[in-house]
Structure 1
């Protein structure tokens, strides 16, 4: 079902946090313009079965649950999106939703893409004449592309396939290696299987032309030909005023200049990115390695986002990240929860999915920078974390809110104190 064929989705749901999980599911489905039953697999008793899990990985003995929340308020390229986020960390979903609300005042998030190109690497050893081998391989471009495309006629039918080659000579501690890069348009797939198959297929001919032997034949997760960019304007007044804007810009500059700060800054970005990648059944490790390699693309590790002040005094945020994600194949197709998440999002292409992911990463980072600049990270984060602490202390569903409220008021958010508060509540209930 396309976006035009269903009820127009909206991402503003007032008071969603105040409802039970069951009620939230209905409200989210209604806002997304889909049937509640389409999201039933997100319920603990309706999702991935043990039999299904047994077909996904080896030696299956069970499953581990990860909470799935829904971020609200997102407008991305003019379309409202309700965003499923799978994460165990408190405050992530709420922070992303709040940042998206601030961006709505100025049109939400706007994105662009460099394309859907993934790179397969073929490593060649023992070349006597590496410089000449490089040129011979480049001369064989058309032959190698034809051989690669013969491996995946379905991808070619859908407009994808091998597009280009590039060749490098790399000096290593064990000699000079010739490395061929095969550039493949993978369309709406993540692309690992397609590019790996092509690399395997062309390797013997590459070795023959280069006059060496091939060793590794595999994709690169440094997906710098598959970049997604997002930008948004965050309202000065909603952020807390001109001083907060200036302080966020200063915090951003700190992360740009210092790798120690950049590591934590980018971790905040990945809180958002990884949560959406996981919820949609994509490869979190591939995306994370690609993003962190992109942060070090100029030789030093730096921030993946930039924050500036515009002429009106509002905060402008930008992000550029490689996002190798797809909607066909892998867990996205095999996991019913991932399918439900994609249905909730309403995305129909890998580029649309990447646009959502990059926007959430930017929103998450803005929320973290604002918390640090305006009030310190602990206040909001620990207030939400208190519920987890209360549950860890043994509080029942009915007791969690009471325990959390007490330990937050006391600013003593520790399991030991939560246990004491819980004992006091239960003793009081018995005496009544």
Structure 2
């Protein structure tokens, strides 16, 4: 039986048997679905209830010499199916190579209305040691773990603003709270020095720590039922080239990559908004939207590369308060931020490759709608075994609410006749 054909209980049992998770982690997934009332109330303001989404898994994603299972939270089944299919294609070659910079986060302290900007800039530059000490004192535990403030800059912007930039090492956390704490402390110290109140002292979600991944897929692995691997690779390379010169295509190209990345970011309890903001700032850094991943065809392979910032963590934030997020990190074997970032980069390549291959091969819509048939069945009131039976009937016929309702009524009539 294929993994996607199993029940949830059977899938969990197989993952335990494979050693991908412990029985305790499987129990968390099996019993997931609701936070305690106290936890839910503490994690949101004006909390009314809880919103549930299914958690799936992209199987056997190759990452830097190992293969991992990547948890994904999404309402769209084709996203998880495409990720697993793309991972299969990535495994056909030598695997995905990952390059990651040191994990850092940035903050900015900005002053407005200073009477002498050059003098203020020089004064701030002369007190770098003071600001380093202030930052260390603001969060000594970060320094003890080897983190904290690592670099400072000062610049005049638009002949109006004075900006102090901070680069901070947050350890295994995403680092937003640490950055804000240090920025506010340094902002107060700089304000006393300049005799002025900072306009702002806060994290910036622009992230210049760019992770990179590359993969080479043998052409033969890309073949479909109607096209050779070389033909498919030619089409994928052409779509990639189009995304480099056409912003309409680039936006959709990148959205497909984020389908997988955001689902995994959400599953691990990280901040999807921060990740999306950083990635799209990077994609538009040249003044126009550029593709996050590119593909080039050689005589024997399709070579893909992806580059993007990934401001995530495995500690801090809401992660410790969300048992399923902790279980998701355990499922992926993500014990460091680098582990998670590498998996996200590989997942982005897998998601992109699967989408492009579908476009130049059988097309996206047929497979997408087949997987959406279950959603349609549920939306018109099918329950239990009716969902699968109705989805199967819809997949081979007209996919519409009216057709689904007619089929469901007919099924129920036959059942009670």
TM-score w.r.t. the length of structure 1 is: 0.92
Of 186, 196, 201, the residue aligned with 1:202 is 186
User: Counterpart in 2 of 1:5?
Assistant: none
Within the alignment, does 1:168 sit opposite 2:155 as a pair?
yes
Pair 234,25 (structure 1): closer, same or farther in 2 beyond 3 Å: same
Within the alignment, does 1:189 sit opposite 2:173 as a pair?
yes
Q: Is the 8 A contact 1:30 1:36 kept in 2?
A: no
Pair 254,216 (structure 1): closer, same or farther in 2 beyond 3 Å: same
User: Counterpart in 1 of 2:80?
Assistant: 93
Counting matched residue pairs gives 412
User: Counterpart in 1 of 2:226?
Assistant: none
SS of the counterpart of 2:244?
helix
Pair 109,130 (structure 1): closer, same or farther in 2 beyond 3 Å: same
Counterparts of 2:55 and 2:153 in 1: how far apart (Å)? 42
Within the alignment, does 1:355 sit opposite 2:342 as a pair?
yes
1:156-305 matches, cutoff 5 A: 156-171=143-158, 176-210=160-194, 212-224=196-208, 226-240=209-223, 241-305=229-293
How much does 1:210 deviate?
4.2
SS of the counterpart of 1:214?
coil
Within the alignment, does 1:415 sit opposite 2:398 as a pair?
no
User: Counterpart in 1 of 2:313?
Assistant: 326
Q: Which runs of 5+ in 1 are unaligned?
A: 1-13
CA-atom RMSD in angstroms? 1.5
Counterparts of 1:31 and 1:404 in 2: how far apart (Å)? 31
Counterparts of 1:357 and 1:33 in 2: how far apart (Å)? 18
Q: Is the 8 A contact 2:134 2:189 kept in 1?
A: no
Pair 33,89 (structure 1): closer, same or farther in 2 beyond 3 Å: closer
Q: Is the 8 A contact 1:155 1:161 kept in 2?
A: yes
Q: Is the 8 A contact 1:73 1:98 kept in 2?
A: no
Within the alignment, does 1:154 sit opposite 2:137 as a pair?
no
Counterparts of 1:35 and 1:142 in 2: how far apart (Å)? 48
Counterparts of 1:79 and 1:203 in 2: how far apart (Å)? 44
Between stretches 325-334 and 102-111, larger displacement belongs to: 102-111
Within the alignment, does 1:382 sit opposite 2:385 as a pair?
no
Counterparts of 2:218 and 2:373 in 1: how far apart (Å)? 30
For each residue in 1:255-300, what CA deviation from the matched residue of structure 2 results, as whole angstroms up to 9, or x when unmatched? 1211211111111111000001000000000000000100011111
Q: Which runs of 5+ in 2 are unaligned?
A: 224-228
Q: Is the 8 A contact 1:273 1:361 kept in 2?
A: yes
Q: Is the 8 A contact 2:32 2:324 kept in 1?
A: no
Q: Is the 8 A contact 2:92 2:221 kept in 1?
A: no
User: Counterpart in 1 of 2:381?
Assistant: 394
SS of the counterpart of 1:162?
strand
Between stretches 301-310 and 289-298, larger displacement belongs to: 301-310
Counterparts of 1:336 and 1:258 in 2: how far apart (Å)? 43
Counterparts of 1:36 and 1:245 in 2: how far apart (Å)? 42
For each residue in 1:344-364, what CA deviation from the matched residue of structure 2 results, as whole angstroms up to 9, or x when unmatched? 111111111111111111111
Q: Is the 8 A contact 1:141 1:164 kept in 2?
A: no
Of 288, 297, 306, the residue aligned with 2:294 is 306
Within the alignment, does 1:429 sit opposite 2:412 as a pair?
no
